[in-house]
Amino acid sequence: MERVQIKERVYKVIGQVLEIDPAQIQEEHTFAADLGAESVQSVELMAGFEEEFEIEMDEDEALSVQTVGKAIDFIGKHLR
């Protein structure tokens, strides 16, 4: 899967979980400070990414990812 496809699906999940327009999301945004994700939503995001991409991620490792761009790269590594 190409990075642009991963990015599109990551934005979709973020939009659904955080109830924001995916068009407002940028790769440099942090989940907490820029997008307003609270800790419970971080777990929901991780679960959403796992479901969307049919992967399993290490929880501690996944929750240490702070920006949208890093999440795209992190998921990309799990898909290879």
Tens digits of residue pLDDT in 9-34: 999 999 999 999 999 999 999 999 99
Q: Which two three-digit tokens encode residue 1?
A: 């899967």
Containing structural domain, residue 50: 3-79
Question: Of 3, 6, 4, nearest to 53 (Cα)?
Answer: 6
Question: Of 45, 62, 57, nearest to 11 (Cα)?
Answer: 45
What's 24's domain CATH number? Answer: 1.10.1200.10
Residue 59 has pLDDT above 90, yes or no: no
The domain tally of the chain equals 1
pLDDT at 67: 97
- Quick one: CA dihedral 65, 56, 5, 24, positive or negative? negative
Question: Of 1, 18, 77, 35, nearest to 9 (Cα)?
Answer: 1
